[in-house]
Structure 1
Amino acid sequence: MRALEAMRVIERPRNDKFIAPRNDIEMKLYTLFSQLFLNVTIDIHSHFFELGGASLDALRLVNLVEKEIGQLLSLTELIRYPTIEQLAVLLRTRARGSQPQNMRAENLMTFRDGKRHLICIHPGGGTAYCYLKLANALNRDLGIHGIQAQGLKEGESFLPSFDAMADHYLSQIEHLISQPHILCGWSLGGLMALLMARKLQQRGFHHSKIIMFDTGYPYPEMVRCIPQMRLDEFKQKLCRFDGIFPDIREEDIDRYHRLYNHHRLLLTGITEVPHFSGRAWLIQVRDKEYTFDIERAAASWRQVIPQLVALPTSGNHWSLMDPPHVQKVAAMVEDIMAEHCQEMVEDVCL
């Protein structure tokens, strides 16, 4: 125990850049750290003892890792691997090879729970970790959930169509849709949110709302020309968006690359965009660097979503979820959620 206390005074240089979790183990550890250390900013480089972890906190973490992750962690290992990133490498190395093949995955992750829910669907890369900065910028009483693509994990098969993806994702959130919620998504995730809300509407759920974060309108004449991305380009993209973790393998990168191109291939098959009669918001950057025309995109969306409201924001398509732009996005989301709750039964939102 004295060794644990001694670790608290070790000082290490910190990079001010926030690095979000990049795989499922990092995300689970992030959640456990967040339970132990309240009201502090945590990322994958957060050092357990520099955050204030003491002996009892270490014992709690060891117990939580066994309960929530299903692996044994010793206090000696925690001293040796005190950051989320380091612990994740240790636990992932142990877990490799234990996944059954052709599994049907649980795709829902909960950043935090609440009585109102923002359900964030993955963009083209398939991960939902990109929404963590948004979650940190939103009010703490708002439940934040991310839906990841099937096929990210070893042994998972890709879903064959956007329709199949929407059905599977809806099966993951059945326990949430009776409560105030908004479906949202960045880029491709916005299109998936639309498909899911449309299906809910067809099933008789008419209170679902959607937010699209800079989602381009999928003009059939444009999407059918989307090329497959080369592996070297994809690796550069992973590096640019902090997607490379220490123990990543070539087979991991290959799987992520194939999933990304699978989503691009599905986009080429779009022939029409479904209509949605519910309320929707398009939070749209004003940077002209992106490939679609801003005004044309909003007008096109309104043809299939008559109640769409377009809201301008700062940044570009790639920086939308980074500070300082994500704080502006969070403020818009909170305003939309407050408006949505006013339309729901009052005591559900309290």
Structure 2
Amino acid sequence: MTAMTQPMLTPFGRRPGPLNTVVFHPAGGGLGQYVSLLSRLSRRGPVHGVRAMGLVPGEEPDRTVEAMAERCLGLIRELPVRPDLLVGWSLGGLLAWETGARLAEDGPAPAVVMIDSFAEPWSAYGSSRERLLDDILRGALVPLGPEAAEAAVRTAGAHLDACAVHHVTTRHQGPALLMPCAGPERGRQVADWRRRAPQLAVAPLDCGHFDVFGTGHTGTVLGHLDAFLDASVPVSGAHHPDPEGT
């Protein structure tokens, strides 16, 4: 499914279960990197994914994290059941956090899982913008036609610019998991989130930011996710292993 036909909020798992999950797009706006993640989460209950505004020609991307989070919140309000879990990688984890903080204003705080996300601007956003833009576009689905390609570049650029200036000011009282990747900023990254999340769990990843969903690392991500959910997110119902091991 391409952005040309995909709604902004898409169901990816309809299996009945005790856990209702929403997954948020990373920088670049698509959800293609999350295939294994969506499969694993759908074992536990319904899963929805949020793509970014701006991927369809004619759409304009949101240019601040606050605007993206408000848009995500509006989409989630349309769901028949309030989500228990918000998950995202990179910008997606930041959107999970900020959207969760807004949901907690009028109800229980959902659990949040952030895969190599930053509470304070990551230095690479400013110092290596063009390289990061290339990495994002290389990992995204191939756009259909020049208009879609232009929209993808414009959206990814808007996301990088938004991350480069965003400082998280909200706190989170519910369960939270951070999976920081290897790198010189990991210590600061973890400390920044700990100041904002009293219940923060940390499960490091021994890979780079853009290798998270590559061969040899996805299994580690999914293992950390399962361990966190089993230990920290109360659910009723059995965990049924996926026969394909995804």
Identify whether the pair has TM-score above 0.5, normalized to the shorter chain: yes
Cross-structure match for 1:200 = 103
Q: Secondary structure at the match of 1:313?
A: coil
Shift of 1:178: 4.0
Cross-structure match for 2:91 = 188
Cross-structure match for 2:164 = 268
Determine the C-alpha separation between the residues in 2 that align with 1:283 and 1:148.
Answer: 22
Cross-structure match for 2:229 = 337
Q: Secondary structure at the match of 1:312?
A: coil
Determine the C-alpha separation between the residues in 1 that align with 2:214 and 2:128.
Answer: 27
Shift of 1:262: 0.9
- State the one-letter code of the partner of 1:244: V
Determine the C-alpha separation between the residues in 2 that align with 1:295 and 1:228.
Answer: 22
Cross-structure match for 1:238 = 137
Contact 2:32 2:140 in 1 (8 A): no
- State the one-letter code of the partner of 1:275: R
Task: Name which of 47, 57, 65 aligns with 1:162.
Answer: 65
| 1:127-146 pair list within 5 angstroms | 127-138=30-41, 140-146=43-49
Cross-structure match for 1:255 = 151
Contact 1:120 1:144 in 2 (8 A): yes
Contact 1:218 1:273 in 2 (8 A): no
1:312 aligns with 2:212: no
Number of positions where the alignment pairs a residue of Structure 1 with one of Structure 2: 236
**Gaps (5+ residues) in structure 1?**
1-20, 29-105
Contact 1:180 1:341 in 2 (8 A): no
Contact 1:224 1:270 in 2 (8 A): no
Q: Secondary structure at the match of 2:113?
A: strand
Contact 1:126 1:152 in 2 (8 A): yes
Cross-structure match for 2:54 = 151
Determine the C-alpha separation between the residues in 1 that align with 2:164 and 2:125.
Answer: 4
Shift of 1:185: 0.9
Structure 1 stretches of 4+ moved >6 Å: none
**Residues 85-138 of structure 1, C-alpha deviation per residue, up to 9 Å, x if partnerless?**
xxxxxxxxxxxxxxxxxxxxx411122124322311111111112111222345
Contact 1:226 1:264 in 2 (8 A): no
Cross-structure match for 1:113 = 14
Q: Secondary structure at the match of 1:318?
A: helix
Contact 1:150 1:158 in 2 (8 A): yes
Cross-structure match for 2:243 = none
Contact 2:176 2:199 in 1 (8 A): yes
1:210 aligns with 2:112: yes
**Relative contact order, higher structure (CA 8 A, sep 6+):** 2
User: For structure 1, which segment, 304-313 or 154-163, has the greater mean C-alpha deviation from structure 2 after superposition?
Assistant: 154-163
Contact 2:28 2:136 in 1 (8 A): no
Cross-structure match for 1:327 = 219
Larger radius of gyration between Structure 1 and Structure 2: 1
- Percent of aligned pairs with the same residue? 23
Determine the C-alpha separation between the residues in 2 that align with 1:337 and 1:162.
Answer: 26
Shift of 1:144: 2.7
Q: Describe the shift of the 1:205–1:193 C-alpha distance in structure 2 as closer, same or farther (beyond 3 A).
A: same
Determine the C-alpha separation between the residues in 2 that align with 1:323 and 1:181.
Answer: 29
Determine the C-alpha separation between the residues in 1 that align with 2:215 and 2:125.
Answer: 34
**Residues 125-155 of structure 1, C-alpha deviation per residue, up to 9 Å, x if partnerless?**
1111211122234563433321100111122
**Gaps (5+ residues) in structure 2?**
240-246
Cross-structure match for 2:187 = 295
Determine the C-alpha separation between the residues in 2 that align with 1:321 and 1:236.
Answer: 13
1:277 aligns with 2:179: no
Shift of 1:307: 1.6
